[in-house]
Structure formats: structure tokens, C-alpha cells
Amino acid sequence: MPRFDAGYVPRSAMAIYAHPDDIEFTVAGTVAKWARAGCEVTFVLITSGNAGTHDRKFTRKSLAREREREERESARILGASRVVFLRHGDCELVPTLALRKELVRRIRRHRPEVVLCNDPKALFFGDRYINHPDHLAAGKAALEAVFPCAEMELLWPEAGHPHKVHAVYVSSTAAPDTWVDVTETIDAKIAALSAHRSQLGDRDIAPRILGWAMDEARRAPARKADGRRGARRPKHAEAFRVMRLLREEK
């Protein structure tokens, strides 16, 4: 049975998030690590971020076009195999039955072993950030699509053959239990995030990303490295709550 622990690399993975740049801020180090190890990675962006600016030079249409371009470049840097845009409205996302069915269709088409999404219950981060409602809606819709819907033979046969997702890596959670060492891919994460110029402008995002990753690494339990004495923590890490959905065979 697969371990789905900090060192596990799935054969295929699907990251389901609300906006272009959400993956890059949260799980890009992990997906880059997996992609380098041969994992087939699919990005599903439910919106194209078509309201995500205070810059009056953009219209919703032109901003969506620019953010999709940025996301494709970012996905190339990270080694993703494909990017899917569902093009729902930014700041208008609701976890409807119709959205759940769309995600089921994508899960059944690409058949990921692992799905990554954000925690739909993570409303507050410190005392300065209220989580975006689209993030909450995307996380809820992703989890509902994964289980039970995508695997149910009698549900929506027109959406494709049923598929059992083996594990969900839930990011941005207050209750992580797994820390992935992204020390070797943190530079790729920063480069991918820097591709989102419509959001970052000329700001140097590296100090913030490195700081977050070091904070997570300090929270990670020390573990023994293969063939070495003693225990160690990674220099940079991303944290997840891992839901293991694959049942042991009897």
C-alpha cells in the first residue's frame, strides 16, 4: 500500500485551486519536486482571476487573458503536464453541484493518483488575512468531487469512467500532519510565482516565500535521513494534511 508520507512521489497528481498563482503561493515546491521525479501533474484553475487587480488598465477579459498566459508560463517552470481553466468568475465562486460535476469530469478524464487542494475551513491566518471566499469554495468543491462523487459508478456516467483518488494533500491548513521537503525546488517555486507579474509587479517575492518555507520546516518533526545517523529537518518545507483514501487490501 502506498505510504503517502513526506517522501512519497505519486505517479500522477492534480492540483485544484481557485486562481492563477494559488498553486504557486502554496504547493509549487511539492509539485515541482514530484514533476522532476516523473509525476504527471495537472493544474486545474477554476477561475482565471479576471477580477484580481486594482490596476484600471485591465478589463475583466484582458486580465483573464494575461493571467492565463502567466499561469501557463508558471506551469512550464514547475514541470506541469497540462493546465486546465474552467473560467468561472473571480470573487463569485460557489461550490455548486454543477461545479462539482465539472471537477468530477476532469478527475475521471486525467485519473490522478493524488489531488492537492486547499483547506475549505481555513478562514483566518493570523490577524491580517481573511481567506479569499474563492479559496474556501474551491477547496470544498474539490473535496466533494474527489469523495464520493468521482468514484461512484452510478453517478454521472456521462462524465466518464469512475476513478478512485488514492490521497488528498490539503494545503493551507491549521492541522498539518505531513511536511514535504522542498529545499531542492524552492527556487523553482519562486521563479514560477514571479511569472505572475499582474499580481506582483516588480516586487521581490523571494524573502517572503523563503521565510514561509523555513517557518514550515521548523514545525516539521525531525526524521532520519536514509543511511545517516541522527534526525534532521528540511531547510524549506510545505505542509499538508494528508487524507489517505485508498483502503488496504484484505
Instruction: Decide if 2 is inside a domain.
Output: no
Smallest Cα–Cα separation from 57: which of 66, 46, 48, 47? 66
Whether cis (ω within 30° of 0) applies to the bond prior to 148 is yes
C-alpha cell at 92: 463569485
Cell 490539503 sits at which residue? Answer: 170
Instruction: Decide if 250 is inside a domain.
Output: no
Cell 461550490 sits at which residue? Answer: 95
Instruction: Decide if 249 is inside a domain.
Output: no
- Residue-range definition of the domain harbouring residue 81: 12-244
Per the DSSP assignment, residues forming a β-bridge with 187 are none
Q: How many CB atoms lie within 10 A of CB 48?
A: 24
Number of domains forming the structure of the chain: 1
Instruction: Decide if 7 is inside a domain.
Output: no
Alpha helices in 12-166 (DSSP H): 22-26, 28-36, 60-78, 97-110, 133-146
Contact 153, 162 (CB under 8 A): yes
Instruction: Decide if 144 is inside a domain.
Output: yes
Smallest Cα–Cα separation from 71: which of 21, 29, 34? 21
Kindly report the average pLDDT of the chain as a whole number. Answer: 94
SS3 191: helix
CATH classification of the domain holding 57: 3.40.50.10320
C-alpha cell at 189: 517555486
* Residue 245 to residue 166: CA distance in whole angstroms: 5
Please give the chain's pLDDT, 250 residues, in tens. Answer: 568 999 999 999 999 999 999 999 999 999 999 999 999 999 999 999 999 999 999 999 999 999 999 999 999 999 999 999 999 999 999 999 999 999 999 999 999 999 999 999 999 999 999 999 999 999 999 999 999 999 999 999 999 999 999 999 999 999 999 999 999 999 999 999 999 999 999 999 999 999 999 999 999 988 755 545 456 889 999 999 999 998 654 4
Instruction: Decide if 22 is inside a domain.
Output: yes
Structure letter (DSSP) for residue 221: P
> φ and ψ at 64, to 5 degrees?
-60, -40
Percent of the chain whose pLDDT exceeds 90: 91
Contact 213, 236 (CB under 8 A): yes
- Identify the sign of the CA torsion 106, 195, 91, 168: positive
Q: What is the maximal distance between C-alpha atoms in the chain?
A: 61
Instruction: Decide if 226 is inside a domain.
Output: yes
Contact 234, 159 (CB under 8 A): no
**pLDDT, tens digit, for every residue of 185-243?**
999 999 999 999 999 999 999 999 999 999 999 999 887 555 454 568 899 999 999 99
Instruction: Decide if 85 is inside a domain.
Output: yes
Which residues neighbour 171 within 8 Å (Cβ) at sequence distance 6 or greater? Answer: 26, 27, 116, 117, 118, 119, 238, 239, 240
Contact 103, 142 (CB under 8 A): yes
